[in-house]
Structures are given as structure tokens and as C-alpha cells.
A and B are shown apart, each in its own frame.
Chain A
Amino acid sequence: MASNYTDRQLQGTYLFDGQMAKKGYGLNKMCYSFNDQVARDEFNADPEAYCEKFKLTEAQKEAIRNRDVIGLLREGGSIYYLAKFTGLLKLNMQDIGGLQTGMSTDEFKAMLEKNGRGEV
């Protein structure tokens, strides 16, 4: 599928376009379901079965198992829905930032402080 949004090099950025929306549909639909406590409980009781219910691909299941946020983005996850998955794991945005950048949460927070002061 053609994408009009890959003509620019935005390193370390995953633009959620039509191609990704199609690829990640089941994954994002599963994460959207986590708005409901009943769904969160069902996932926690049997993650594999719950992934199967939304027909996740093997690569998506693997990334869910490993809490591999970058892998989930590559497999079509949108950060807004993935945030509901990581919320279920009790991870906040700085924890997720650390996971994606290979830093500890404290290192990631220190980077945010530095960036916030404009020391880039």
C-alpha cells in the first residue's frame, strides 16, 4: 500500500498512517478494549487467549509478551492505544520512554529535564 508520509526522514518516529492502521488494526482494537475493567481482567487472566481473540499476528503477540514497545509500534500499534496496554502493566509515560530509548526511567526523566531547559 502506498504511503504519502514516508518521504521524510524522521528518525526514531513511527507515523501512524493508513498502512500502519491496517497492519495494526487487531492490536489496536485489543488495546482499545482495555478501556473496560472487564477486558483488562480477561487479558490478565489469560493474555495469550485474549490476543488470539483479536487475531494478533505472531509478531504482535511476541511484542506483547516481551513488552516490546518499539516492536509494537513497528507492528502497527498506535501510541494512544498502546498507552492503554502499558497502563494495564502499571507503566507510565516515562517508564515507556525509558523502554523505547534503552534508558532507565530515571535516565529518561533526566533527559526530559535537560530537553525542557532547552539544553539540546
Chain B
Amino acid sequence: MANIIGAITTSHIPAIANAMANGLEQTPYWKPFFDAYPPVRDWLNEKKPDVIILFYNDHGLEFFIDKKPTFAIGVADEYHNSDEGWGIPTIPPVTGESELSWHIANSIVDEGFDMTICQEMRVDHGLTVPLNLMWPGHQYGHVKVIPVCINCEQYPMAQPWRTFELGRAIGRAVASYEEDINVVVFGTGGMSHQLDGERAGFINRAFDIDCLDKLVSDPEALTKYTNLDLVEQGGAQAVELNMHIAMRGTLLGKVTELHRNYHAPISNTGSGLMLLEHEMPK
């Protein structure tokens, strides 16, 4: 049986990639952020997961608003990054896992999640920054990644209760996969931030910390929020918390918090790093 052994929340902002490319990790601005990552990297290197299921949002690389999927899943053997408008250097491809991807797609569509299923999908910083944070120097080629993309850009958006249920359906799909493989789930993005409008620069530290607490011990409480509640409490782009909520949904068994760091601001955001260990339900 496939086994979800843990989950990680992490920021995915493009400025992190620039900091890493320019070797700024130990400068005063970045140090409190990057110094939190080695324990998580060590855990990944010890556990050696076969597959990462990665929840992220596309910021206008693969998807435009001509056709904007609410939920999309990649089923390819390989994914590529591309220029997102800033001329960032092209990075190595991301390895996919088509068999489990198709198994998840089959299972969750049968459960009522009408996914957009993608055999080609350019993946943006939302997916590549977390991988590079976990395996610096873009050394992530050995791990197979299943991208799950959630619309966080255009209303109407799936509500937190729904993204949590999506996670739960994916958790059940993994549990029903016969091959003995280890899976880790990433919830990326967030936490509180607002990029646009006169309210730009809004960060809510207390709200973020409360969300991290609830992700561990009371995730159902987060599903009571609407997206507009998240906007009010955490700023316009706090809807990216939906990726954290979906991640937590996949954890159907016992959850233990192993590591946490909260730091703000990084660029315009509150950044929450958390490592959760998971025991599959009997």
C-alpha cells in the first residue's frame, strides 16, 4: 500500500529563487528564513520519499484566464519551467509519476472532483521554489512529483471546505494504491499577504500562527473560513492557504508536528515552514 509518511508547508515566492541563485541565504534579511530549512531537508534525505504530491497555484505561466481550471492535476512523466516574464534562468525539468497520478485522477473524479487532467503542464515558481528549497541546487530530479494546481487567482474559487475535501479524496486515493511507496505532501504558498490595492503590504502574524496551530490539531476549524474570511484576516493572497488546507486533508491518520518556523516578512508575505509526520490509519 502506498503510504503518506508526512507533509510540509512552505512558502513559494519567486524572491526565494533569486536569493538562492545569488547566494544570499546567510545575509541578515534571509538568514532567519533559510536557517529553518536544514532539519526538514535532513528528514527528507533520511526518509527518501518516492513521490511528492505538491499543491500549488499557477501564477499565469501554464494557465491564462481564457481557460482557468479550478483544480488541475498533472499526469506527465516530466514537467518544465519556463520564462514567467522576468527572464529567470531555465532550470532542470521536474520528474513526474504518471501511474500514481492517473490512479489519483481516476479515483477522485469518481468521487466527484472533476479535475482538469494535464499531460503537458509548464510549472511555475509555485512548484519549483519549494523543490529547490528542499533540494538546493535543483537536485530534485530523483524524486517524482505530482502537481495539483488550485485556482487562487480568479473568483469564484473553491472554498476551504472544498479544498480540504479534495485533499481527503487524494489521501484515500493514495491509500488505495497497491504499490509500496512512500509519499510526502507539500502545501505551498501563503501565508498572509496582499500584493494589490491600497491595502498592499498587509500581514497578520497572529492569524498565520493560529493557522499553523490549527493545521496541526484542528484542521476542520480552517474549513469554516470562506475565501473572503481569509482575505479579510490574511490579505488578498491569503487564499493561498487553500493549498495548506488541501495538504492537511490528505492526512487521514495520526499527525505529529516535528518542526516549525514562522518568519515575516519575506518579500511581502508571512512564511510558515512546518514538517508533519503522518501515520496512515489502520
Contact = CB atoms under 8 A, between A and B. Distances in A.
Contacts, number: 132
Interface in A20-60: 21, 25, 28-29, 31-32, 34-37, 40
B270 interface: yes
A88 interface: yes
Interface string B198-242: 111111111000000000000000000000100110001100000
B264 A10 contact: no
B197 A78 contact: no
A120 B265 contact: no
Given A80-B60, A93-B15, A118-B205, A11 B199 contact: yes
B83 A36 contact: yes
A97 B200 contact: yes
A10 B226 CA distance: 14
Given A13-B194, A79-B195, A93 B85 contact: no
Interface in B86-102: 86-87
Contacts of B201: 97, 101, 108, 111-112, 115
Contact of A84 (B60, B66, B197, B270): B60
Q: For chain A, what secondary structure do more than half of its interface residues adopt (helix, strand, loop), or is it mixed? A: helix
A101 B61 contact: no
Q: Classify chain A's interface size.
A: 35 or more
A73 B194 CA distance: 13
Interface string B247-282: 000000000000000011101101000000000000
B232 A101 contact: no
B203 A101 contact: no
A81 B222 CA distance: 29
A73 B197 contact: yes
Contact of A87 (B64, B86, B205): B86
Chain B interface size band reads 35 or more
A115 B65 contact: no
Among B59, B154, B197, the most chain A Cβ lie within 10 Å of the Cβ of B197
Contacts of B153: 16, 78, 80
Contacts of B182: none
Contact of A78 (B65, B86, B205): B65
B9 to A, nearest CB: 18
B239 to A, nearest CB: 10
Contacts of A87: 85-86
Given A113-B265, A115-B203, A10 B228 contact: yes
A21 B65 contact: yes
Interface in B126-176: 153-156
A16 B153 CA distance: 7
Contacts of A97: 195, 200-201, 268
A17 interface: yes
Interface of A: 4-5, 8, 10-18, 21, 25, 28-29, 31-32, 34-37, 40, 69-70, 73, 78-84, 87-88, 92-94, 96-97, 100-101, 108, 111-113, 115-118, 120
By Cβ-Cβ distance, the 8 closest A-B pairs, closest first, are A12-B199, A116-B264, A12-B198, A84-B85, A118-B205, A79-B196, A116-B265, A115-B203
7 contacts: A8-B232, A15-B155, A21-B65, A79-B237, A80-B153, A93-B267, A115-B264
Interface of B: 15, 59-61, 64-66, 82-87, 153-156, 194-206, 228, 231-232, 236-237, 263-265, 267-268, 270
